[in-house]
Amino acid sequence: MTSAELRNQLRGVLGFPITPFRQDFSLDLDGLARNVDRMACHPFCALVAAGGTGELYSLSVAEIVDVVRVTVQAAAGRMPVVAGVGFNAALGAEIAHGVEKAGAASLLVMPPYYGNPPEQGLFDYYAAIGRATGLPLMIYSRDWAVFSPQQVARLAERLPALAAWKDGQGDARKYQRIMSYVGDRLVWLGGIGDDCVPAYFAIGVQAYTSSISNIAPKLSLQLAEAGLAKDFARLDGLMRRYVHPLYAIRDRMRGYEVAVMKQAMEILGMAAGPVRPPLAACRAEDVADIRRLLESYREVIEERESGGVAERSPAGAGRSFR
């Protein structure tokens, strides 16, 4: 996929599959394939394998390549797969080379491990990963990797393969300045969470990355549809009913942005398993609250024919989650 093709593709929602593990923390690749096949039945513009929600930094290089390979196979051409890349220049280049061979269409480049690099060193890191493949790059500005509009412009000039920018700062005012300064050279993505959808679409992103896509793909798509249409009344209703209550639970502990989504998937009978350290499992009282919250999600969680997870009453009027 060329940078131009990627630009045309990225509109709406990028699904963000979790990486399922077995109880011994080994990869559950069969579970991943089932999850991805289910997600790919929905019209996401792309799927991101081994991203932040996919616990990239707890995976080995070989595991990252396996996760991407299985995701590509399960997606079966229905949408492109973006692969997470990070760590440092050498490992990032090795991962990039491996996931390109595994079928990835683009790379989502995380910040490097070192949290206080000079601009030249940081740019060299991105360039090394870019040289390792012919794939388009997306840069994820998260945590300490904060950029000025001028820095983004300089980086885009240095890296012809840079096609998209994913914001993970949640500062809509600064992001709007960056977008205005750089213009249409890059695709602008919202990336800090489903809870920032209104702000992102208000300033003009064309797509966002969704962890809710793991449990309620229809809801993710509805959020993007309302955002792209600038239908903020509808968007406010979706946020109040579904998104804000979920994110209130996710805010209770560091790392819950992954643990809560995995716990919800487990409750729904999907392959998820534990989180790997340094993340921690959900506390019992939070599990109970997640279970109660999923009752309100029943209108936006698809029916499944098998598994005995979502049950209808005899009259077909309601569902409960075990």
pLDDT digits (tens, 9 = 90+) for 173-196: 999 999 999 999 999 999 999 999
Residues near 87 by Cβ (< 8 Å), separated by ≥ 6? 57, 95, 112, 113
pLDDT at 288 over 80: yes
Q: State the pTM of this model.
A: 0.92
Enclosing domain of residue 24:
3-230
Q: Is residue 303 part of a domain?
A: no
Q: Check 125, 166, 200, 297 and give the catalytic one.
A: 166
Looking at residue 246, what is its pLDDT? 98
Q: Is 166 a catalytic residue?
A: yes
Q: What is the pLDDT of residue 6?
A: 85
Identify whether 71 is part of a domain.
yes
Residue with tokens 């920018």: 165
Is residue 191 one of the residues assigned to a domain? yes
Residues whose CB is less than 8 angstroms from the CB of residue 206 and which lie 6 or more positions away in sequence, other chains included: 10, 11, 187, 188, 189, 228
Question: For the residues 29-49, what does the mean pLDDT come to?
Answer: 98
What pLDDT is recorded for position 311? 38
Total of domains in the chain = 1
pLDDT at 100 over 90: yes
Percentage of the residues of the chain whose pLDDT score is greater than 90: 90
CB burial readout 131-165, b (16+ within 10 A) else e? ebbebbbbbbbbeebebebeebbebbeebebbbbb
Which residues pair with residue 137 across a beta bridge?
A: 107, 162
Query: Tokens standing for 93?
Result: 């280049």
Which of the 8 DSSP states describes residue 21? B
Q: Tell whether the model's pLDDT for residue 204 goes beyond 50.
A: yes
CB-neighbour burial class of residue 4 (10 A; exposed 0-12, middle 13-18, buried 19+): exposed
For the record, the structure tokens of 203 come out as 């300033």
For the stretch 122-169, pLDDT in tens is 999 999 999 999 999 999 999 999 999 999 999 999 999 999 999 999
pLDDT score recorded for residue 286: 98
Average pLDDT over residues 53-63: 97
Q: Return the CATH number at 219.
A: 3.20.20.70
Would you state the pLDDT for residue 8? 87
- Label residue 305 by pLDDT band (50, 70, 90): very low
The percent helix, strand, coil of the chain (3-state, each to 5) is 50, 15, 35
State the pLDDT at residue 7. 83
Query: Does residue 301 fall inside a structural domain?
Result: no
Sign of torsion, CA 17 18 19 24? negative
Q: What is the mean pLDDT of residues 250-254?
A: 97
Asked if 175 contacts 169 with a C-beta cutoff of 8 angstroms, the reply is: yes
Is 171 part of any domain? yes
Which of 125, 126, 140, 256 is an active site residue? 140
- Establish if 299 belongs to a structural domain: no
Examine residue 153 and state whether it is found in any structural domain, yes or no.
yes
pLDDT of residue 139: 98
Neighbouring C-beta atoms of residue 38, cutoff 10 Å = 16
Q: What is the mean pLDDT of residues 20-47?
A: 98
pLDDT at 116: 92
Known catalytic residue at 140: yes
What CA–CA distances, in Å, run from 105 to 225, 255, 293, 315? 24, 28, 35, 46
Q: What is the pLDDT of residue 303?
A: 56
User: Is 107 within a domain?
Assistant: yes
- To the nearest whole number, what is the mean pLDDT of the chain? 93
**Amino acid 307: pLDDT:** 42
| pLDDT tens string 253-287 | 999 999 999 999 999 999 999 999 999 999 999 99
pLDDT of residue 273: 98
